[in-house]
Structures are given as C-alpha cells and as structure tokens.
Amino acid sequence: MSQYKLKVKKGDTIVVLSGKDKGKQGKVLKAMPKKDKVIVEGINKVKRHTKPNQNVPKGGIIPKEAPMHAAKVMVVCPACSKPTRVAKKEVNGKMVRVCKKCGELLDQAK
C-alpha cells in the first residue's frame, strides 16, 4: 500500500512505460490510489471466462482491461503531446497539476 497520491487521474491520457503494451497510449478509465493501480482503455487486456447471467446472457470468453501498476504509466501533456512528469503548483489558492516540460496546466477548469 502506498502512502502517496497517484499522479494520474480518471480521464488523463497516458503512455505505457513497460510491459507487453509498452509505448501504447490510452485514457484512464479508473484510478485506484489505495492499490496504486490504474485501468486504462484498451491496455492490458485479459480474457475473462464468464458463465451466462443477466448481463451476459450467452456467457463465454470476454476480453476486458485489467488493472496495472501506476508506476508503469506516464501522463501525456495535452499541450505539448509528450509524456511528462507531474509538478504541483498553486493557482488561485488551489493546487493544480502542471507539465514539467512546458509548464501548462494538466487540470482543466471544471
């Protein structure tokens, strides 16, 4: 268990640093800070053997994304389109994530 917060959030575009999907990009579907894991769209696919049920009436082998360790991914900056480390900066009294390469904000105003 990690005592630190994740640098990636749901909705971020990331690039995979190591493993079978090295170099691939995807969008974070779910971040699990307590387990230090993330689920990325189209990355780390595994096959799940499922019995027929209400959700899957036919059953069978269903491909789905499995969680992967957060240390294996790096955030891609939307401004400079490069993988970057994340810095924290205070803007208008709020801490926001900033690209280390170009200095642009990673968190968009909501």
Q: pTM for the full model? A: 0.84
Q: Buried b / exposed e across 38-69, counting CB within 10 Å, b at 16+?
A: bbbeebbeeeeeeeeeeeeeeeeeeeebebbe
pLDDT for residue 91: 87
What would the mean pLDDT of 91-96 be, rounded to a whole number?
A: 89
**Whether pLDDT at 79 is above 60:** yes
pLDDT for residue 21: 94
**Whether pLDDT at 83 is above 70:** yes
What would the mean pLDDT of 75-98 be, rounded to a whole number?
A: 91
**Whether pLDDT at 110 is above 50:** no
